Chains A and B, each alone.
Chain A
Amino acid sequence: MSASSCYKNCQPASIGKKIIMALSGLVLAGFVFGHMIGNLTVFKGAAAINEYAEWLHAHPGLLWVARSVLIVSVIAHIWSGVLLTIENRIARAGGPAVEVTRQASLSSRTMPYSGVIILAFIVFHLLHFTFRKIALGGQEFGADVYKMIIAGFSQPAVALFYIASMILLCLHLSHGISSVFQTLGLRNQRWRGRLDVVATAYGWVIALGFISIPLAVLLGQLK
């Protein structure tokens, strides 16, 4: 096989890209669940969440394995998403003058947009709480993660941005999760409706779990 034919044959096919998108999305959807459960320890008090953060940092090997899997998944997800979106725009050739939508859900039609905003949120979130470079007023918190969270969400604009982003994540997940089953071929007419409900419910569980923290800080329930 020559190099040029490999270039053509080794490119993932349409369904190949979809499978990459589905599997990387599945990893990320699983991650947000774990992340949310970990975050909810904040309601058990400062000691609980600080202990949890300390435990994570006490296992750098484990942490970096998880981080590597996440970084690879994020890159694969964005790469396949961008390729699919560009190819689809070209294939549509502008579309009809009169555009009619019979079935496509709002979440399915806004996937590239919700995805881009969630990416912007992730960048902000990492700079905010992981690298601690922005929106913390230059304060140092050290190992006191609890205090950092309270300080971070005490600014209404920041808290509202987190809440809005999580609602978009809910939208993204409600189409994404049901699409994972379709792309992997694990869906039929009988299960389609049920899986859509499961996906929407999962999106809401994740979103509400995350939103509860900035909301509690805004309402003065967490101090």
Chain B
Amino acid sequence: MVKPSEQSSHDSERTLALRLRVWRQLRGGEGHFEEYSLAAVPVSASFLEMMDMLNEQLIREGKDTIAFDHDCREGICGMCSMTINGMPHGPIPGVTTCQLHMRNFRDGETITVEPWRARAFPVLKDLAVNRSAFDKVIQAGGFITVRTGSAPEANNTLIPKPIADEAMDAAECIGCGACVASCKNGSAMLFVGAKINHLNILPQGQPERERRTLAMVKTMDDAGFGNCTNYGECQAHCPKGITLDVIAKLNRDYLRARVKDFFSSTGKARKGGE
């Protein structure tokens, strides 16, 4: 592996010949691996650009192209996925697949490319999976209820800097699903923990804090995600560096919400505040 700082101009012109084992699956069908050879891949290409080259080759050969998710290609949208050699977003910690460059691979290497594997993320086609379970979790409580319209006066709600920083750290989550894909339990608790922390520690998140926590956890469970057993794989694979802290706080907030709900006279939190 060559560090970016060690590259010379000569190095950036280097190309790779690769063998790719790619998961192919038709909608509703059983999947299988197919092998492809791809020559002259520039080391400066991103992994997605390499996949584009492979698709162009398939088009020239009159074959069906490989479906994969992508959008911004600058590491912030959360669309790209792919488990590369068993690692969601590939071998370099802290980057998404679109920001992973081919200089991190060896000439002649065989690269195995699979979709996210989890029951809650069914494969749509090839490497594209359906991540709408995450959308459902967000719809259950990943918001604050406010009157929109004219912008409120910024100084009306004062937020201490450390709290704002903590909320921003949690809000860094792009919802890509690498936590679920890397978890040996198919658990989404890093994602749900990040979203709950982001809102639950801010003043604007307080009115719906308990309702949000209970509803998001219930939606997460109903979607068929697994349960965290504190492996820490999610933290080690998260492209945004979200830590297990958010799961500890999710657990704490859930316990707090259940206790408050249990002793509330109306039980409104459990019913979703309706």
Which chain A residues have a beta carbon within 8 Å of chain B's beta carbons? 9, 13-19, 84, 87-88, 90-105, 108-109, 111, 175, 178-179, 181-189, 192
Contacts and interface: CB of A to CB of B under 8 A. Distances in A.
B205 interface: no
B226 A100 contact: no
Interface string B218-244: 101100111111111101110000011
B236 A103 contact: yes
Contact of B227 (A18, A99, A104, A108): A18
Nearest to A92: B186
A90 B235 CA distance: 22
Contact of A94 (B86, B117, B253, B258): B117
A100 B255 contact: no
A182 B254 contact: no
Nearest to B251: A185
B187 A188 contact: no
A15 B251 contact: yes
B237 A102 contact: yes
Nearest to B123: A93
Interface of B: 23, 33, 83, 85-87, 112, 114, 117-120, 181-187, 189, 217-218, 220-221, 224-233, 235-237, 243-245, 247-255, 258, 270
Contacts of B181: 96
Contact of A189 (B224, B233, B237, B243): B243
Contacts of A101: 233
A88 B185 contact: yes
A48 to B, nearest CB: 40
12 contacts: A19-B255, A91-B120, A91-B224, A95-B184, A96-B83, A97-B23, A97-B33, A101-B233, A102-B237, A103-B232, A108-B231, A188-B245
B32 to A, nearest CB: 10
B187 A183 contact: no
A96 B252 contact: no
Given A18-B251, A88-B186, A104 B117 contact: no
Given A14-B227, A92-B184, A189-B243, A104 B233 contact: yes
Contacts of B254: 13, 15
